[in-house]
Amino acid sequence: MVREIKFAELEHLLLSMGFVTVATAGSQKVYQYPSSGTLIVLPSYEQQAYVRTVHLVAVRRILLDNGLMDSDRFNRFLQKLAS
């Protein structure tokens, strides 16, 4: 699953799924899925910065555990970016 993903690509995925950004006092980026309240908290990345593998794995796990995306769809997202 490991692949270099730019933050802009990951953020686009989350927003296209229906996540919304949540204002915070800190430098982190917080995304919430309104109907379930699922939260994803990431460090503040520049748009063109590559997402650290640990954060990509955490996002994948949150999406899977909350039934928001299955592993096949997440893998297709990664494959699409690789091509």
Task: Dump pLDDT digits (tens) for 9-23.
Answer: 999 999 999 999 999
Question: Is 4's pLDDT higher than 60?
Answer: yes
- Structural domain tally of the chain? 1
CATH number for 63: 3.30.920.30
- The pTM for the full model equals 0.89
Return the pLDDT at 1. 47
Q: Which domain holds residue 47?
A: 7-82
Looking at every residue in the chain, the average pLDDT score rounds to 91
Q: Is residue 54 part of a domain?
A: yes
DSSP secondary structure of 22-52 = E--SSS-EEEEETTTTEEEEE----TTSBPP
**Residue 31, strand partner residues:** 21, 40
**Residue 6, strand partner residues:** 50
Mean pLDDT of 24-53: 95
Q: What whole-number percentage of the chain has pLDDT above 70?
A: 94
